[in-house]
Structure formats: structure tokens, C-alpha cells
Amino acid sequence: MEFLTPEILQWSPFLLMLVVFYFLFYRPQKKEQQKRKNMLDSLKKGDRVVTIGGIHGTITAFSDEVVTVKVAEKVELEFNRSAIGTVKSKAD
């Protein structure tokens, strides 16, 4: 065990902390960001959505940045695509 010199052993708690932080914080956060990006990229006309502000509606139109959501008869609101929180159900 010649490679376990005191200098390496001195750094081992720091390296262990880095590994723990990677698996507990960084990796799950990246997975969640990728999942959200996929959800926003797969939005389509007719999807029932809930905005991050809690407004429920149906997508009637969208572009790269703006999504138009119908919330009531003759009432349509425009939101940034990033303001969509969840998709309740997919279009038929």
C-alpha cells in the first residue's frame, strides 16, 4: 500500500465529499433539468397544462418562446414557454 502516502490520505476526505456531492446534488439536478427540457420541447397544440402560477388551460398555439393557453371561452393568455409547469394530459 505504498500509494497511500500521507499526502493522498490528507486529501481523501475532500475527494470523498466531492463524490458525495456529485451523486446527491449535481446528478439528480441535471436529470431533473433534462426531464423539464424534454417536457417543454414536446408541448403541442391541445395539451392541457398548468402554469407555474397555477393557471389551468389548453394550448391553442405556440412558437419557440411563447405559448398561447385557452383558459376559458374566448379567453386566451400568452405565456413564455418556461412558464409552463406541468402537462396534465396529452392531446388526443
3-state SS string for the chain: CCCCCHHHHHHHHHHHHHHHHHHHHHHHHHHHHHHHHHHHHCCCCCCEEEECCCCEEEEEEECCCEEEEEEECCEEEEEEHHHEEEEEECCC
- Mean pLDDT over each residue of the chain, to the nearest integer: 91
Among 3-7, 23-27, 61-65, the least confident range: 3-7
Between 5 and 92, the higher pLDDT residue? 5
CATH of region 44-92: 2.30.30
Q: Is the pLDDT of residue 20 over 50?
A: yes
The string of pLDDT tens digits covering residues 34-63 is 999 999 999 999 999 999 999 999 999 999
| Domain boundaries of the chain, sorted by first residue | 1-41, 44-92
Banded model confidence at residue 1, pLDDT cuts 50, 70, 90? low
Question: Distance between CA 32 and CA 66 in Å, rounded?
Answer: 22
pTM of the model: 0.72
Q: Is the pLDDT of residue 92 over 60?
A: no
Banded model confidence at residue 10, pLDDT cuts 50, 70, 90? confident
